[in-house]
Structure formats: structure tokens, C-alpha cells
Structure 1
Amino acid sequence: MSAPAPSRGPVENIDAVLRVERQDGEKLVFHHRVFHAIGSFAGTPQFVVLQCGAVVCWIAFGGVFPDLALDPFPFPLLATILALEAVLLTSCVLIRQNASDRILEKRDRLELQINLLSERKATRSLRILQKVAKRLNVDDEDCQQDELAQETSVDQIARGLREREEAEKAQ
């Protein structure tokens, strides 16, 4: 009989998940990294301050030096640049959001696997406890065979959830 694998502490498990996510991030091609960086920066107060400062400077320069202004009032070039920037920033943020969604889906699958393994271990522990109670002649109604000691059917649970969702939609 082989020895059980050494258990890992919570910190080691978290480090393992973060390591896998970091490796996934390193696999991203260069332009996706650029889009992620832009998407991250666009959602900060520093970006808002920088953006407002640039627009104020553009307008102030056009107002103070109207003869030198590249873009006189009503600033059509500024409006075009800001509209293009809005489209590009929106795209960068959506690309970053899609990547975040994929990471969350992976975490959800990992969490589901861990929950299923935990449920299986708990079921096994209950069965062992029931056998011990039976062998020790412990007479208690809680020690009888119950549904907690039975294997959980994931298919049955999924079908039940789907039926409830469909019933809620129908109402």
C-alpha cells in the first residue's frame, strides 16, 4: 500500500492556484498584454485626472493662443480623438473583462471539483462512523442509514436546479 500524498496547507494551495493563473497570463501574446494593461489603467482615478488635464490643456491652449491653435473652437479634432479613444478604451476594457470571465470560469470549475471531492470524503466519513456506531452497538436514531451517507448524484442535482430555474422563468 502506498503512502498517502502529504497534505498541502491552505497557503500552498493558494500559491498553486496563483502560479497556474500567472502561467496562463504569461502565455498571452504581446498585444493582449498591452490591451490588459490599457484596460487596467483606464479604470483608475489617475487616468481620469490625466484625461481631464489633457482636455483642459487642449482647450486652454486653443483659447489662449487662437492663432496658433491646431484645433480652433468648437474643437472638432479633439472631439474626434476623444470619440476614437472611447471606442478603443471600451474594446480594451471588454477584452480584459473577457479574460477575467475565463479566469472566473476556471475557478468555478476548480471550486466545483473541490466541493465534489469534499462531499465524497464527507459521505465516506459518515459511512465509516455509521459502521463504528453499529459495531459499538450505539442505538440512536441519528445513526441509522440516512441520505447523507449516500452518494450524491450530481446529475440529479443539476436536473433539479434546471427544473427550478425553468419553473421560475415560467412564473
Structure 2
Amino acid sequence: MKLEKEDQEALSPYHRLSHAIGWFVGTVYFVVFECAMVLGWIAFNVGLAPTHWTFDPYPFPLLAVVLGLEAVLLTSFVLIRQNAIDRASERRNHLDLQINLLAEEEATKVLKMLGEIAVHLKLPVHDPDNKDLSQHTQVESIARDLRAREKKEGE
């Protein structure tokens, strides 16, 4: 959490603003706000306004332009926010991988030491998988095997 907070603080004000807009766009509040603005625009321009002064008569070409521009900008804000979320997720996944590799290495050492203790105390070991599990895990070969399976399934 501390690292993520530091990442947020390191963002430029423009990125923070785009993240806030991207967040707001994905809420019900934005949908309600958007509907109210469009309905207000239409009501004003069909003569329901007290002054009967319209600036965008039916079929509301200016409204279409404004909504089109808004769609492009809001899509950009959402994509900027999504890219930041993806980068943070990648960092977390990489950290998880590193921690898992360390845990695997530690577990392998512990199993190896337990096996040595069992041999030293002349205790019978009934688990046939113990020898395999106490060997160093070849992460690179596992990754290659996974890639090969993915390619084979993709064909």
C-alpha cells in the first residue's frame, strides 16, 4: 500500500486529474450527470427555457459534436487510467513471482535439510515424492514448457 501511495504521489498533476476523471466516468454519478446535462440541453433548445432563446435547434448538431468530442476525451481518460492500473498490476505480479520463487527455494532447502536429518537419525522416509521435491526447481524449463503448451493449444 505504501509503494502504491508513493506511485500515486509521483504522478504529475495532469495524470492525477486524468485518473480522477477516468474514475468519475465509471460511476453512476457520471451517468446521472450526463443524462441531466443532455436533457437540460434539449429542453433549453426546444423552447422550454424561459427566454425562448436557443443556440442549438433540433436536430441538435452542436450537441452531437459536443458528445462526440466528450466521448473521445473520456475514452482517452479511461485508457490512461487503465494503463496505469495495468502497470501497477504488472508490478504486483512480478513481485508475487519473485516472492513465490523465494518461497519455493526456501521450501526446497527445508525439505532437503529434513531429508538429511531423517537420514542422520536413520528414520524411514515413506514419501517417494520427497526426493523430487527437495531438488532445485528449474523455473526456466517450466516456463519453456508452458510456452510450448500455449503454442500447441493455439494452433
Q: TM-score, normalised by structure 1?
A: 0.85
CA deviation profile, 1:105-151 (whole Å, cap 9, x unmatched): 00000000000010011001101110111111111332786110001
Structure 1 residue aligned with 2:44, among 44, 61, 80?
61
CA deviation profile, 1:30-60 (whole Å, cap 9, x unmatched): 1111111100000000000000001011111
Would you say the 8 A contact 1:130–1:144 is kept in 2?
A: no
Tell me which residue corresponds to 2:8: 25
CA–CA separation in structure 2 for the residues paired with 1:134 and 1:144: 16
Structure 2 residue aligned with 1:164, among 139, 149, 154?
149
Gaps of 5+ in 1: 1-17
- Aligned AA for 1:72? P
Q: CA deviation at 1:21?
A: 1.1
CA–CA separation in structure 2 for the residues paired with 1:144 and 1:92: 52
Gaps of 5+ in 2: none
CA–CA separation in structure 2 for the residues paired with 1:160 and 1:31: 44
Matched-pair identity in %:
50
The size of the alignment, in residue pairs, is 153
Would you say the 8 A contact 2:111–2:130 is kept in 1?
A: no
Q: 1:116 to 1:29 in 2, by over 3 A?
A: same
Would you say the 8 A contact 1:40–1:93 is kept in 2?
A: yes
SS in 2 for 1:21: helix
CA–CA separation in structure 2 for the residues paired with 1:52 and 1:87: 18
Is 1:123 matched up with 2:111? no
Would you say the 8 A contact 1:130–1:143 is kept in 2?
A: no
What are the equivalent positions in structure 2 for 1:9-88 lying under 5 Å apart?
18-63=1-46, 64-65=48-49, 67-88=52-73
State the Cα RMSD in Å: 1.5
Tell me which residue corresponds to 2:137: 152
| Runs of 4+ residues over 3 Å off in structure 1 | none
SS in 2 for 1:69: coil
SS in 2 for 1:157: helix
